[in-house]
A and B are shown apart, each in its own frame.
Chain A
Amino acid sequence: MSAGHHHPIYRPADTPVHRLPPQCKLAAVVAFAVFVVATPRERVWAFALDALLLAAVAVAARVPAGAIVRRMVIEVPFVLFAVAIPLIGTGERIQVLGLSLSAPGLWAAWNILAKATLGVVASILLAATTEPRMMLLGAERLRLPRLLVQIATFMLRYLDVILDQMRRMRIARESRGFVARDLRQAPVLAKSAGALFIRSYERGERVHLAMLSRGYTGEMPTIRDISATGRDWAVAGMLPCLAAVTALLAWSTT
């Protein structure tokens, strides 16, 4: 959750993956993540298979590897944590390069690294091939509470406005010579946060009034109908099904 990732990673294109209805892709990615997490960590080949599956999707969606790798930076904090596990873990200890490492700790680090990486790549592929607006419509089709989807819609719609407001406030601070050096400067930042809250809240009130004047009754009208055919579901289902087969194979070959 570091700064600088406020732009969604959607990459417009026209590929079979982009054309799939969003609800199918959402369900497929979540199911894929569940199957990956359920795979026993000792079967290294199973994770290689899952990675190949994702690579196939990336190729089909024409998402360049560079873009995926750049987004994977988000994982870094937990990678650092994973590196620490073999050092502080319990259990049988083995010598590697003169370091005493915990064998279960090494497995745990591998487990987290592999599963987190596969999960992150799957999420990146989903976000890169699905327009944010369509993703929300898909979530609504999947029977997510309407209100929740509406809140998310408003958040996404006004996110850039609020972030721009924040950026302008930062420029205003800096043009007056403000530099945040230590905790003594926190009151200034907190006042900015307070002002930002008031601006966001008041904007919310204005947006609501504007919506009321255009006939809002508490429900958003759905203009675009996105229905999925059985074929769409079958195509999207290939990824989680293959992951499920991989997980089953991994469990059976003990």
Chain B
Amino acid sequence: MHVPDGFFNVPVSVGAGVFAAAGVAVCLRGAKRELDDRTAPMAGLVAAFIFAAQMLNFPVAAGTSGHLLGGALAAILVGPYTAVLCVAVVLLVQGFFFADGGLTALGVNITLMAIVTAVVGWAVFRLITRGRPRGRATLVAASFVAALVSVPSAALVFTGLFWLGGTAPIEPGSVAAAMVGVHLLIGLGEGFITALTVSSVLAVRPDLVYGARGMTRALTLRTADGDVQVGQQGGPAAPEAPSAGIGLRPVLVGGALVAVLLAGVVSFYASSAPDGLEKVAADKGLSAQEKPHAVEDGPLAGYSVKGVENQRLSGGLAGVAGVALTVVAGGGVFYVIRRRRRGTDGMTTASAQ
């Protein structure tokens, strides 16, 4: 979903544009470290792949179909810096060559779909795979959780921006509920397809998966003089090893800050918006018996009867519950997969085929 022109006011559009430009600038430096002078052709081809993969529709349920967003997938396959660049380029090309997504909303689109999904996806992926026996099962499960979390995170950031400068008079509380709810479902599909894609790449070319760097077994030559380890860790991947990802700590701290900020935003609005609603209802003699109103504002009606403190609390709780639900759902799936595949540790390179 590309945000069009006019959806956000000018300050937010400009602010997001500055943020996106800064993010892309950082990633340009980072990608040069990841790929050096291969950056242009490699990132270009990966961007073309993401563009193509986004057109690969997969059926979700009867009649509806979803497609990949690809931020988390790209981060796992080619590294976070390159991933942000690739998705940003895809968005730029879609904006300028295909008239998809508003030009003034480019900053918002890049921030949401390139930076947030890739950075959150990568942070979650690193968090899970760090310090674990890194088998293929772990990597695949981590990809699932990373993609699952990355999509609702983008939805949450969208809600935050909407609260700051959205042009539509809808309570950010209900926007958050709707956006996170819907995107949790989308995230499930994204996680499923991302995990399967990463798994299939791991089966054929595990050396291409950035998230699996340093996890493949070194090639051992059995010679007459004994075993000799060949290449692998000392190969071309070695100089890139130190930059194998953004340091985890800054990402985590930043993510926590953003989450706290968002929780504050959501709870603040959940407290003040129903006040306005109630006031209008009282002033105009309108009441909740109006059908569309009562139905559409269902979740909100819940807290508008309570006092301010309660509203603030419930707003915050709703946000926290959404995040917790994501974590629990992701963690549960991860746990189940881990338990099921505990026996198959170590990298299973399917080079035999």
Contacts and interface: CB of A to CB of B under 8 A. Distances in A.
From B13, B24, B103, residue with most partner A Cβ within 10 Å: B103
Contacts of A154: 40-41, 43-45, 47-48
B58 interface: yes
A248 interface: no
A148 interface: yes
B194 to A, nearest CB: 8
A88 B199 CA distance: 42
B174 A127 contact: no
B60 interface: yes
Chain A interface residue bracket vs B: 35 or more
Contacts of A205: 38, 42
A114 interface: yes
A4 B38 CA distance: 30
Given A108-B168, A155-B44, A217-B37, A148 B89 contact: yes
Given A102-B169, A190-B196, A200 B48 contact: yes
Contacts, number: 304
B44 A193 contact: no
Interface in A82-109: 85, 87-93, 99-100, 102, 104-105, 108-109
B137 to A, nearest CB: 16
A153 B167 CA distance: 35
A78 B40 contact: no
Interface stretch (A31-39, A57-65, A225-233): A31-39
Given A3-B55, A8-B98, A111-B167, A191 B200 contact: yes
Interface residues of B, number: 92
From B2, B37, B97, B280, residue with most partner A Cβ within 10 Å: B97
Chief secondary structure at chain B's binding surface: helix
A151 interface: yes
Contact of A112 (B60, B167, B203): B167
A70 to B, nearest CB: 11
A128 B180 CA distance: 37
A3 B52 CA distance: 9
Contact of A105 (B24, B168, B200, B290): B168
A163 interface: yes
Given A151-B43, A181-B59, A204-B41, A198 B192 contact: no
A89 B24 CA distance: 35
A93 B286 contact: yes
Nearest 8 pairs of A and B residues by beta carbon? A154-B44, A115-B6, A119-B5, A194-B200, A190-B196, A204-B45, A116-B4, A123-B99
13 contacts: A1-B54, A6-B55, A29-B103, A85-B169, A112-B4, A115-B5, A162-B48, A180-B57, A182-B59, A185-B59, A193-B53, A201-B208, A204-B41
Interface of B: 1-7, 9-10, 13, 24-25, 28, 31-32, 37-49, 51-62, 67-68, 77-78, 85-86, 88-90, 92-100, 102-104, 167-171, 174, 189, 192-193, 196-201, 203-205, 208, 273, 276-277, 280, 284, 286, 290-293, 296-297
